[in-house]
Structure 1
Amino acid sequence: MSEQTPDQLIRMTYTSKATFTPLNDKKEGYDRNIINILTTSRRQNRKNKLVGALYFGNGYFFQCLEGAKQHIDALYAKLEKDERHTELKVLSLEPIEKFAFSSWEMKYAAIDQDVPSFLKSYGLDKFDPYHFTPEMTAELIHILQSANEGMAEA
């Protein structure tokens, strides 16, 4: 990969493990921790001209972010200090020509029906992005791009 400039558009996909036990709000159907993360992410990403998508399953985050390299780097430095998750691992980092998630400051994808068939196609029983190959990461990014948003603006 060629050297990247600070204002070059890049896509970074990473995974991490939640440090909290998911608590579903039965009335809303969504985890309060996730709602708080999405609210903050959307506000901060709008300010920093970042877009992306988030999937949370089996206690793991899978997040794809797009924006200027300098903004992605700054956000990743903050994410490394965020106590709501641990063991961050970058799954992919690549230059892009244009945003794939252009209309989403942070899309929370409703892909719960797609994930089991995705996992099954690779012979996996549970969602664990730490074991994803580059091909699997790219496929899940594509699924996220085409998914409907699972949660409206919080």
Structure 2
Amino acid sequence: MARTEKLQSEQDNWIGCLTYQSTATSKPSAAELRSLAHQARTRNRSVGVTGMLLFEEGRFLQTLEGPPEGVEAIWSSVARDQRHSEIEVLSRHMAPARLFTGWDLFLSSKLSHAPDLADAAAGIPPAMAKHVRKAARHALDGDDIALNAMIAALAEQGWTSAAVLNLLIEPTARALGDAWLADDCSELDLTIALSMLQLAGHAVRYETAPQAIRSSRYSILLATAPGEPHMLGTALLADQFTDAGWEVEMTFPDSEEALLNQLRAQRPDALDIGLSDALFRQQSLIGLRSVIEHSRSVPANHPTVVSVGGRLFAEAAATAATVGADHARTTAAGASVRMAELVRQSRQF
């Protein structure tokens, strides 16, 4: 198949996506919202459409995705619905994949109780707990401006990048995971909050790496574990390794094969595979062990040093030996220096 024909074939499989916001003509009760969502799920399922619906402070935000004709049919009905007004289309485009696979309609509403973060910082020193609770609240509120301001203020007080990562961002991710496990926030709340932490992480400024690391020009492939939707740790590492002078590539594979193909193509000096920084992923250990075992057979000029990370390793519930890695990071802080040491050591044998 010619390249243009292949591209056309791929595009023929793309889906339509539409996102809009509107204002409710009257305040719905929790029961009315549930009824609305039930009706929408039935209607969406009939035409192969998935999506999400948010309701907060009298306003709706909805995303529809699926076959273009299905999206248009739903949109035609939504646009005529008398329960809302001031309808504004925010985005209308084609995409290669769904964001809400398996959700005929995901409903999130601030009519329900707000997440209880009173115990979100349990186990953290009292002096730090208040910062973690505050950061978690900003993240759940989607307030990246407040998060950035908070990190900037801490930096002015003398906090190093290692302290921001190890004492604030990573504990906040775990606190958010605990809130989800306690049913104090939805999966969507958690995903958005982690995205806010990821954005805020870009404001962290790392200490200058030793010249020996910069001159070595080591390369690293930063990857999430196959199928892992949380990418906070991987994003934090990308900024750190780039600032330290490493050649950095990132991948978010949906399968072991996809990750191994990337590894074969790049043949990096080091590979880091991240699980969720918010949740334990014990069920992922078997798959992670398989990926690492097979990665050892990928030919390279030098042995590839393999590091793993995520909450499961940060809290010492699993070790590097558990999955056959060379290193399990308990924090992203200082990872570029530690990995450089491991790469150097691997070349001495």
TM-score normalised to the size of structure 2? 0.30
Give the match's secondary structure for 1:109. Answer: strand
Larger strand proportion of the pair: 1
Which of 169, 191, 195 pairs up with 1:146? 191
Shift of 1:121: 2.5
Alpha-carbon separation, structure 1, partners of 2:140 and 2:57? 11
Q: Confirm or deny: 8 A CA contact 1:6 1:69 kept in the other structure.
A: no
Counterpart amino acid of residue 13 in structure 1: T
Alpha-carbon separation, structure 1, partners of 2:14 and 2:144? 34
Shift of 1:99: 1.3
CA deviations 1:71-97 (Å, max 9, x no partner) are: 111111111111111121111112111
Name the structure 1 match of 2:144.
Answer: 121
Name the structure 2 match of 1:151.
Answer: none
Alpha-carbon separation, structure 2, partners of 1:145 and 1:88? 27
Alpha-carbon separation, structure 2, partners of 1:71 and 1:88? 19
The question of 1:10 aligning with 2:16 is answered yes
Q: Percent identity?
A: 24
Alpha-carbon separation, structure 1, partners of 2:145 and 2:90? 17
Alpha-carbon separation, structure 2, partners of 1:11 and 1:115? 25
Q: Per the alignment, do residues 84 and 110 of structure 1 end up closer, same or farther by CA in structure 2, a change over 3 Å counting?
A: closer
Name the structure 1 match of 2:316.
Answer: none
Higher relative contact order (CA 8 A, sep 6+): 1
Unpaired stretches in structure 1, ≥5 consecutive residues: 24-30, 124-142, 148-154
Alpha-carbon separation, structure 1, partners of 2:28 and 2:79? 20
Alpha-carbon separation, structure 2, partners of 1:50 and 1:100? 11
Give the match's secondary structure for 2:41. Answer: helix
Structure 1 segment 1-154 matched on structure 2, within 5 A: 8-23=14-29, 31-109=30-108, 114-116=139-141, 118=142, 120-122=143-145, 146=191
CA deviations 1:40-87 (Å, max 9, x no partner) are: 011011111000011100100011111111111111111111111112
The size of the alignment, in residue pairs, is 115
Alpha-carbon separation, structure 1, partners of 2:101 and 2:32? 25
Alpha-carbon separation, structure 2, partners of 1:71 and 1:16? 21
Shift of 1:146: 3.2
Query: Cα RMSD (Å) of the superposition?
Result: 2.6
Alpha-carbon separation, structure 2, partners of 1:106 and 1:145? 17
Alpha-carbon separation, structure 1, partners of 2:58 and 2:12? 33
Q: Per the alignment, do residues 90 and 145 of structure 1 end up closer, same or farther by CA in structure 2, a change over 3 Å counting?
A: farther
TM-score normalised to the size of structure 1? 0.64
Q: Confirm or deny: 8 A CA contact 1:53 1:107 kept in the other structure.
A: yes
Alpha-carbon separation, structure 2, partners of 1:95 and 1:145? 26
Give the match's secondary structure for 2:18. Answer: strand
Unpaired stretches in structure 2, ≥5 consecutive residues: 1-10, 116-138, 147-187, 193-349
Counterpart amino acid of residue 11 in structure 1: C
